[in-house]
Structure 1
Amino acid sequence: MPLPSDEKLIALGDDLLQQFETIFGQHPGFRPAHAKGTILTGTFTPAANAASLSRAPHLTRPSTPVSVRFSNSTGLPLIPDNDPNASPHGLAIRFHLAEHSHTDIVSHSTDGFPARTGEEFLEFLRAIAASASATSHPTPVEAFLGSHPAALAFVQAAKPNPSSFARESYFGVTAMHFTNKDGDSRYGRYRILPEAGNDFLDDAGAAEKSPNYLFDEIAERVAKGPIKFRIFAQLANDGDVVDNATIHWAEDREQFELGTVELTQPVADNAHEQKQIIFDPIPRVDGIEPSDDPLLELRAAVYLISGRKRRTAPEQ
């Protein structure tokens, strides 16, 4: 995938990556955010009615191979799993449609995002970086949150420690435009729900866990049997805002089931695969188009720029 030709977009992406580096330090070979992760492989099976929403190939075939990456937040490759900053956790799914052909879902465990645009997100990151050495209040990030209610709501949203990556729900940040074979279209946001149900630890229980408990647990769990998630699209009604990641849709919106991911084993060479795979928040597949959310093109550029740098780093 080539870099976009928009020079302003590339410059903004570079500025964002620089801020992540300022906050978390340099960690060659790792992602600037969600650095600590692991990949499992398995199969996606569409729900019986999935093709009525979208004609995308993975929703019309009997099954599709997948790779799924679970991750902690921050750009710190060694962040303890029970550190509060490790949440929101990430879940990214690659649907392997054919050789050199794929489509992805990128999600995290908090429903929403702290910024409407890339410029606003950059302002947020700069405020975080400037607050590290602040000695008076309000700090730059406190001032930012005080004037940006959506960012404040995201920061204040509950982010409990899950007992397992397999027992947490994950949410797509931006809306997608789903179109079926008849040309009928609906906007929707992904929701990925664990078949085992949600399960969270209290602060005391989390404090007793090892720094690597989520990664140890997911390896033990998949060795005992398949890990399953059901993928849904929360569908927008007419009039719902579909180009702003900070705006939630009402919980009474239809939850349309797309299918089930069944994970059966770790990827063969985890460290190498994590360096190589570059997830794409833009679907780039017939039947699922991006919305006009301004975060999408920027996120795709940031992922690609950072991914290319990651691939050239020496093996750990």
Structure 2
Amino acid sequence: MSQENNYHALSDDKIGKNYSEENLKSFPIQQNSTPAELVDALNLVFGKQTYGRAVHAKGIVMRGRFLPSQQASTLSKAPHFQDIAVPITVRFSDFAGILTISDTDPLSSPRGLALKFHLPDGTETDLITHSFNGFPVATIDEFKELLIALGSSGPSVAAPTPADIYLAAHPIAKSFLESQLPPPVSYATLTYYAVNSFKFTNAQGETSFGRYQIVPQAGNQFLSEEEIARASPNYLADEIRQRVADSPIRFNFRVQLPEPGDEIDNPSIAWPDTRKTIDIGVIEITEAVHDSATVERDLLFLPSRLPAGIEPADPMVYRSPAYIISYQRRHQ
């Protein structure tokens, strides 16, 4: 069994604390950058984290369930795509690797939504999404280069800064940084997009490719400028605790399918909104955990922790070892 499939059956604690740099070398990492170098680059931008994550440090953990649709099993034989509801752990987050960042700070976008599906056989599979359709770069090496350029720039650095130079040559990354949405009314009023493409295989052996979309049943809603000025630094966690106490929060879970010519292995290129989508179920969030700070510190979401029936289809999936490094550093 490969390392990639082996950690599908292991607990977060087992993976996070027991995997060494030597273990990580055997993961199917498709880049020159090491996992530690990628985390170091994130620390260069946001500062070294000793308690929280290197990125998406501030968040809140919730629980619920995933109710698959009848169409889900036609797409994949994955356990959570069959005709049974499965429990989920959910973590909403702000983007920056800064635990104290205000929810209205521009560096809080894109927001994150990470899902851990607790499968019937006792194993888990994870999904990581954010509130922007696309990624700033195509590969892990390019992501490290972007982070180093950003972290090496600032008010005291003469123009053109490394960031100026990088972004001038990389218009997609520039658009990503400059096109973020305003602060939302709630974590529950944003659409989230998977960073990656996946290959799906159903019980009949039929395969297809797709990208996840998680669409709020409450619709996309954002604060006005006046509301932003009045909002508290932690309004998102406060709001969603109250929202879920009143009634369950629901998202429609979809897979967008490509057409010929669409780039499957390049996460920086979004597919047009006109592409067909399949509704594969509903994500229902029913409660906020009581001690979110403790729970989320011990959670480890891995992009390539996937069950049979779902496979990576682009190179950014293989950033999982960097998540393990970040986990280990916040538990030193």
> Which bracket does the TM-score occupy, shorter chain normalised?
over 0.9
Long gaps (5+) in structure 2 = 1-6, 8-18
Runs of 4+ in 1 over 3 A off after TM superposition: 6-11
Q: Distance in 1 between matches of 2:108 and 2:317?
A: 23
Which residue in the other structure is 1:203 paired with?
225
- Which piece of structure 1 moves more, 275-284 or 6-15? 6-15
- Find 2:69's aligned residue among 43, 47, 62: 47
- SS across alignment from 1:69: strand
Residue correspondence of structure 1 range 112-151 to structure 2 within 5 A:
112-151=134-173
Pair 1:20-2:42 in alignment: yes
Q: What are the Cα deviations for residues 144-201 of structure 1, in whole angstroms up to 9, with x where unaligned?
A: 1100121112112232110000001100011001111111111101100001111011
Normalising to structure 2: TM-score of the pair? 0.89
- SS across alignment from 1:131: coil
Which residue in the other structure is 1:307 paired with?
327
Residue correspondence of structure 1 range 1-316 to structure 2 within 5 A:
1=7, 3-6=23-26, 12-98=34-120, 100-291=122-313, 293-297=314-318, 299-310=319-330, 312-313=331-332
Q: Distance in 2 between matches of 1:146 and 1:257?
A: 38
Give the letter aligned to residue 296 of structure 1: V
Query: Pairwise CA RMSD of aligned residues?
Result: 1.7
Q: What are the Cα deviations for residues 247-266 of structure 1, in whole angstroms up to 9, with x where unaligned?
A: 11121111111110111111
Q: What are the Cα deviations for residues 43-86 of structure 1, in whole angstroms up to 9, with x where unaligned?
A: 11001211111111111032000011000011100100011110
Q: What are the Cα deviations for residues 273-304 of structure 1, in whole angstroms up to 9, with x where unaligned?
A: 2111110111420111111x22211x211111
Aligned residues of 1:169 and 1:194 also touching (Cα < 8 A): yes
- SS across alignment from 1:161: coil
- Structure 2 CA distance for partners of 1:54 and 1:35, relative to 1, 3 Å: same
Give the letter aligned to residue 323 of structure 2: Y
Which residue in the other structure is 2:4 paired with?
none
Structure 1 position 4, deviation (Å): 3.1
Quick one: percent identity of the two aligned structures? 39
Aligned residues of 2:190 and 2:220 also touching (Cα < 8 A): yes
Aligned residues of 1:54 and 1:288 also touching (Cα < 8 A): yes
Give the letter aligned to residue 254 of structure 1: K
In the alignment of these two chains, the number of paired residues is 310
- Structure 2 CA distance for partners of 1:138 and 1:266, relative to 1, 3 Å: same
Normalising to structure 1: TM-score of the pair? 0.93
Aligned residues of 2:24 and 2:321 also touching (Cα < 8 A): yes
Long gaps (5+) in structure 1 = none
Aligned residues of 2:89 and 2:117 also touching (Cα < 8 A): yes
Q: Distance in 2 between matches of 1:211 and 1:172?
A: 26
